Amino acid sequence: MKNAINYIYSDIRRKTEDFIRSKESGESQEAVDGEVLELLHELLDYQSKLEAQIVKLAENERSGRKKAEEALSKTKVQLEDVLEGANIGTLEWNVQTGKVKFNSIWAKNLGYTNTEIKIGLALLGKKGWRAITHPDDIPYADEMLQKHFSGELPFHSVEVRMRHKKGHWVWFHQVGRVKTWTADGKPLLMYGTHIDITCRKQMEEQLKNDIEEKKRAQQALVDLNNELEARIRERTIQMLNITVDVEERERNRFSAELHDGMGPLLSTIKLYFQWLADTDDPEKKKIIVEKGSHSIEMAIQTAREMARGLSSQFLSEVGYISALNDFVQQINLTRKININFVANSNDRFGSFQELMLYRITTELIKNTLTYAHASRVDITFDYNQLKKIIIFAYADDGVGFDWEEIRKQKKGLGLMNIQQRVLIMKGDVEVKARPGEGMQVLIQIPVGNKSEEVKI
C-alpha cells in the first residue's frame, strides 16, 4: 500500500512541474486550461484510487486483526486446556503492591473459590502469601526469592506447604520469574506456576519410612544374630565345661578301675610269697624273690604312672608348678629329650584353672614327643601379680608343620582342644609353626579369685 501511494504522489508531482513549465514558457491559455483540466481529472482519478486503496487496507487490517484475535483466542483456550489437564495453577504477582492475579486452578488446589482468594489476599495485604504458607517453609521461600531478585538464581523454584481451606497442608512446587522491573531496578511483575505435588511427597515420605523400617529390620536382624552368636558362645562354653567335667569324672573313674584292676596282680605277688614260704630250695627262693620283686616294682610303677596320668588327685595336692616339674623330670630321666621349665612363681591358683593349665602343657609335650622329633623344649610360666595375668610360652626345635593349613582343614585335634581350653578360661592363644622351624605357642590367661574352686 505504501508503494502505491508513493507512485501516485510522484506522478502528480511530475505533471504539476510540467504544468508550471508550460505556464512559464508562455503557452496559450487554452492549452494551459486544457492541461489544468486534464490535471484535475487525473487528480480526481488518483484520489479515487487512493481512497479505494485506503478502504482495502482498512479491510485487510480488520481481517488480519480478526484472524489474529481468533488465533490468540484459540491459543488461550488451548493453553487453559493444557493447564487444566495438568492441574497447573498460574499467577501474576505485583511484587511492589502485593496484588495477585491467578487462575481458577490455583484457587481450587487450596479449596477456595477465586472470590474467596481475592478477598483474603486483599485483606492480608502485600505479604498475604505468608498467612497460608507453613511457618517452617517461609524462611526457605524468602531466601530463594531474594536470590532470584538479586540475580543469583535465574528462576524462583521452591517446594513449600500451603494450608488448605479444610485445614490440612498441601505441598506445592512453585516456579516463577520476574519479567518486568521498576525504573530503580526493583522487581515488579513476577509470573509463575503452582503444581500440587502432595501425592509425590506422600510417596517420598512412604518410601523414606519404608527405608527406615527396612534399616530397623536389618538392625534387628543384626542384633538378633549378635544375640544368637553370644548365646551360642555361652552355650558352647557351657558344653565345653560339661565336657571337661565329664572327661575328668571319666578319667577318675577309669583311674579307680585301674587301681581295682591291680588286684589280680597283687594276688599273684601274694602267691609268690606263699610259694616262698612253702619251699626250702635256695634256687627256687632266689627265682621267686626276683620275680616277686620285679612284679611289685612293675605294679607300683604302673599304678603311679596311671594315677598321675589319669587322675587330678596328685595335681590337686601339689599344684600346677610342682606337678609339672615332676612330670618334666621323669621325661628328662629318659634322656631322649631335654625339657627346660622356668616359672617365676610357685603360687597356687583355682583348681579348675590349674587343671586346664596342666592339661594344656602335657598335651603340648605329648604332641612334641609324638610328632616333632625335637631335642629341646623350652617352657616359661610368668605370673604378673600386678596385672593378674599368666603368660605361658612353649617352644620346641622340632620339624614344625604348616599351622595355617592344619587350622583351615581342622586336622590338629590336640591344638584345637588347647584353643578350646584357653577359650574356657577367657584367654588368648597364638600358635606359630612352619615346616623346619619348630613350634611356638603363646598363651595369656586372666587370673581370677585364687580361692575360687571349680568342682570336677
Domain ranges for the chain? 2-82, 87-196, 312-456
336-to-236, 339, 375 alpha-carbon distances in Å: 39, 10, 7
- Scanning the structure block, which residue is given the C-alpha cell 634256687? 283
Give the phi and the psi of residue 429 in degrees, each rounded to 5. Answer: -135, 140
Residues 311-322 have pLDDT tens digits of 556 678 889 999
Residues 301-312 have pLDDT tens digits of 656 655 555 455
pLDDT value, residue 281: 78
- DSSP H or E run through 433: strand 428-433
- Scanning the structure block, which residue is given the C-alpha cell 498475604? 128
Quote the CA–CA distance of 76 and 73 in Å, as a whole number.
5
Higher pLDDT, 5 or 429: 429
Spatial strand order in the sheet of 100-102: 100-102, 88-94, 187-196, 169-181, 156-163
Coil, helix or strand at residue 156: strand
173-to-68, 80, 114, 166 alpha-carbon distances in Å: 34, 19, 20, 20
CB 391 within 8 A of CB 442: yes
DSSP category for residue 432: E
Of the listed ranges 103-117, 122-136, 366-380, the one predicted with least confidence: 122-136
Residues 244-300 have pLDDT tens digits of 776 776 665 555 445 444 555 565 566 567 666 777 777 777 776 776 676 677 667
Of residues 259, 345, 247, 356, the one with CA closest to residue 305: 259
262-to-63, 276, 300, 311 alpha-carbon distances in Å: 137, 21, 10, 16
Distant-in-sequence, close-in-space partners of 262: CB < 8 Å, separation ≥ 6: 299, 302, 303
- Reported confidence tier of residue 368, pLDDT bands at 50, 70, 90: confident
109-to-23, 86, 205 alpha-carbon distances in Å: 84, 12, 21
- Reported confidence tier of residue 54, pLDDT bands at 50, 70, 90: confident
Quote the CA–CA distance of 241 and 368 in Å, as a whole number.
26
pLDDT value, residue 259: 41
pLDDT value, residue 13: 57
Higher pLDDT, 130 or 185: 185
- Annotation: CATH topology of 87-196: Beta-Lactamase (3.30.450)
Task: Work out the widest C-alpha separation in the chain, in whole angstroms.
Answer: 210
Tell me whether the CATH fold assigned to 87-196 matches the one assigned to 312-456: no
Pick the CATH number of 312-456 from 3.30.565.10, 2.40.30.20, 3.40.1190.20, 3.30.70.1560: 3.30.565.10
Cell numbers at residue 96, please?
511492589
Whether residue 401 is predicted with pLDDT greater than 60 in this model: the reply is yes
| 414-432 mean pLDDT | 87
pLDDT value, residue 256: 45
Does this model's pTM top 0.95?
no
| 359-385 mean pLDDT | 89
On average, the pLDDT of the chain sits at: 76
